[in-house]
Structure 1
Amino acid sequence: MTIPAPAAAPAPARLLVPASALLWGLQVALLSPALAIILATLYDASTADIGWTLAVYHAGGFLAALLIPAWADRNRSYLQILLGCGVLTIALAGALATASSLPPATVALVVLGGPAGLGTTMLFAHLRDAGTTTSRIVGTRAIVSVAWVGGPPLATLIIGAAGGRGILAALVVIAVLNIATTAAMMARRRRLDRVAAPGPEARAPAEAPARPVSGRAATVLVVAAFVLFQACNATAMSFLTLYVSGTVGLAILWGGITLGVAAALEVPALLIIGRLGDRIPHLRLVALGAIAGVAYYIGLAAVTEPILLLALQPLNAISVAAISGIGLALFQDLIPGAGAATGLYMNTRRIGAVVSGPIIALGALPLLGQRGIFLACALLTLAGLGLVHAARRASRARASVPADG
């Protein structure tokens, strides 16, 4: 049964999802760059301690992103878990503020921080479950990117003024706002369900679009491709400033300017590619993003002047928009269960961040140097493009086999 949508939602209702995306994006954008400083200042953690704590924390987040979204799919309780993420964020801030040493803080990060970090995952799963279009999902992803433009600078200002506990207090304020917006979305969803139909069919999931690829082998190939894409993106983002100052020979300020330009271009790129995603197959847009990524990494390996460095950033924006925006929608098309699909996509980012370490280590080899890091990224992105093409071929081959009987 198809549920008729209301003719028009009131303006405050239309702002609920954008506000939620901005707040959840801001929560992560505040905590991620500040967590190492929190561990060092509140618990006197050494560099090695911070490294191991962050590794355990991210491992806990990886497991949470596998288990909790799958449970949400079975119970169709995305907004309820989103509300729980806000509550757990408050609990995490309280636990970190009162912990007397690093071990209990680490336990709090794993037990509370892992599930609390699933806010954006549950939000996008809710949008998918509600039958939201690709353009709106990618547009919502663009709002998360806006939060990342302002989040890290805001985190440094708060730390400078109030220290690590100041960040924890800010997280509590954001979590309270997240709880309020989620509660409003839940109330609106209940009203829509009552208007649509009284029976269980009122919560029937939206009809799923045709899957761009089918079969276990094709799915594995797409997931592997995105791990490579995410690894190369993580490498470029984390190493660019050092590369610009150490190898290209520019002032370190150019690294910050370049990252700022990249973040600014990412938002309109996401909006544009999201609209294209309603009309053009998602795999084709992902392939376009991969080609742009290959060109970008080759350009980085050859760059010698700041103007060329900035001129390359539109290619980077296209690549990031395709991988982070259309990629999310692609996984939701590909994998049954809105929560499991979104959680698996988010985990490709975590695995990619781990893989970026060995890629960066290639720069220590005398025959390659730091420029070789980006040549390796170009080759790996090209390999990811080949995996996407192989997934399409495997899917077509599977579809051409007649069913028995």
Structure 2
Amino acid sequence: MRFPRSERVDRPGHPSGRTATPGSRLLVPSSALLWGLQLAFLSPALALILTNLYGASTAEVGLVLALYNVSGFAASLLLPGYADRRHSYLTVMTVCAVLTLLLAGALALATTLPAATVALVVLGGPAGVGSSLLFAHLRHSGARTADIVNTRAIVSVAWVAGPPLATLIIGWFGDRAVLLAIAAVAVLNIATTAAMIAQRSAATRAAAAATAAGGEPSTATPPVEESPVEESPVGRTGVVLIMAAFVLLQATNATAMTIMTVYVTETLRLPVVWAGAALGVAAALEVPALLLIGRLSDRSSPLALIATGCLAGIAYYLGLALVTGPILLIGLQLLNAWCFAGIAGVGLPLFQQMIPRPGLSTGLYTNTRRIGAIVSGPIIAIGSLTALGQRGIFVASAALTLVALGIIGIAARRPRA
């Protein structure tokens, strides 16, 4: 199976940090950390907030989360599309941060479940798009694949610390306290994005002044910065195939994460702490895996790197189906981390390379995760009905990952656009 190498054109001034000041180099990592913390605070605690603050039943929690995800799905297409047309990713990011602040306030003031549901659908869905717009901004500004992957690694760092910190805040100060923490993160996000906008405006004015000094009319409008010119590694049919493959990869990843606690306690007969340890180790290993795959991305084809992630995923799921003790369970997380690095690290810049509109490409990639989460439900249901019981879930995940690898191989052989 042959995979074409990526072709890129480096441009001066992209956010790799080579021409930026030390202060400006911290803006993008800080923004990534803050957006990651916002999601890491809200997502794990949301079901608990709905139950404890508004008395939601389990069925009502499922319904509210479904409506919330539908809102996020639509916003992931509409807001990035608007940003693409206006070339204004940072401005829309600021709006998302403001919506996060309003969401925290609305949930803190709400006294009924319907009111909280309206807040999540109207404010929460669009607010969650901010992190996607950060990556669209990076792409639009000419960032290399390695820069985007390294920024994604910072989001993973936030997810390592965010959920434990959120539960700690709830345990010490109560359920509403985590809403105050989310509001504080939103305020910092607004300030960081405003600093990025100011930096960009200063660079635009400097470019206009330099143009005027070179003899051009000083009133000329500075050109809008365009995304780096890269050849798509696949043709138009290949784009559809890659999207289908990523839905399967996201689905199997979501399946393993969702069922881990139940699998560890009911099938492996281990204390639940081992499930938490496995997920924690996987999250911690994701960071070096993303950094490593980011370094490799400049020298290897993105499709080839994703293929290695698929192979690691197949080995991981088969290992989970065979595991009987905690040591192997923890050791298998090395494979899990590399699989995730291929999906999350290389997948995002690959979508941006295939689809020239940074906002749309990032939104479509984000929605493969949302669709994959929906598909994970049938995988769990059908896989558990086999003779293997819950182990059949991971055998099914391995089979679907193999299908995804085959689809990627077919896409790699399709003629380029």
**In the alignment, is residue 210 of structure 1 matched against residue 231 of structure 2?**
yes
Alignment correspondent of 1:385: 405
The residue correspondences of 1:4-403 to structure 2 (distance < 5 A) are 4-5=12-13, 8-197=19-208, 199-215=220-236, 217-394=237-414, 396=415
1:15-71: CA deviation from partner (whole Å, max 9, x where unpaired): 111111001000000000111111112211111111100000000000000111011
- Separation of aligned partners in 1, 2:24 and 2:377: 43
In the TM superposition, structure 1's runs of 4+ consecutive aligned residues that sit over 6 Å from their partners are none
* Per-residue deviation, 1:3: 6.5
Q: Offset at 1:358?
A: 0.9
Q: Secondary structure at the match of 1:369?
A: coil
| Residue 310 to residue 364, structure 1, CA distance change in 2 (3 Å) | closer
Give the deviation of 1:150 after TM superposition.
Answer: 0.7
Q: Which amino acid aligns with 2:229?
A: A
Pairwise CA RMSD: 1.6
Name the aligned partner's letter for residue 196 of structure 2: M
1:402 maps to none
SS at match of 2:223: helix
Q: Which range is displaced more, 199-208 or 173-182?
A: 199-208
What secondary structure does 1:203 align onto?
coil
Contact 1:362 1:369 in 2 (8 A): no
For residues 306 and 82 of structure 2, the distance between their equivalents in structure 1, rounded to whole angstroms, comes to: 29
Alignment partners' CA distance in 1, 2:356 and 2:230: 11
TM-score by length of 2: 0.92
Alpha-carbon distance between aligned partners in 1 of 2:11 and 2:241, rounded to the nearest angstrom:
35
Q: For structure 1, which segment, 308-317 or 110-119, has the greater mean C-alpha deviation from structure 2 after superposition? A: 308-317
Higher mean C-alpha displacement, 100-109 vs 46-55: 100-109
Deviations along 1:61-95, whole A, 9 cap, x unmatched?
Answer: 00000111011101011000111111111111111
Cα 1:110–1:193, aligned 2, differ >3 Å: closer, same or farther?
same
- Match for residue 216 of structure 2? none
CA shift at 1:305, angstroms? 2.0
Counterparts of 1:52 and 1:178, CA distance in 2 = 29
Q: Percent identity?
A: 60
Q: Deviations over 1:313-366 (max 9, x none)?
A: 111111100100100010000112101000110000011011111111124415
Residue 2 of structure 1 contacts residue 206 of structure 1 at CA under 8 Å; is this kept in 2?
no
Name the SS for the 2:227 alignment partner. Answer: coil
**Per-residue deviation, 1:201:** 5.0
Contact kept, 8 Å, 2:386 with 2:392, in 1: the verdict is: no
Separation (CA, whole Å) in 1 of partners of 2:281 and 2:315: 18
Q: Count how many residue pairs are aligned between Structure 1 and Structure 2.
A: 396
- Segment drifting more, 329-338 vs 239-248: 239-248
TM-score (norm: length of structure 1)? 0.94
* 1:181-228 deviation digits (Å, cap 9, x = unpaired): 00000001111122234644532303321111121x211110000000
Determine helix, strand or coil for the equivalent of 2:300.
coil
Give the Cα separation in 2 of the matches to 1:88 and 1:204.
27
User: Per the alignment, do residues 4 and 329 of structure 1 end up closer, same or farther by CA in structure 2, a change over 3 Å counting?
Assistant: closer
Q: What is the letter of the counterpart of residue 295 of structure 1? A: A
In 2, are the aligned partners of 1:4 and 1:196 still within 8 Å (CA)?
A: no
| Alpha carbons 1:3, 1:196 under 8 Å: kept | no
CA contact (8 A) 1:93 1:172 kept: yes
Partner of 1:304, secondary structure, is: coil
Range with bigger deviation, 187-196 or 322-331: 187-196
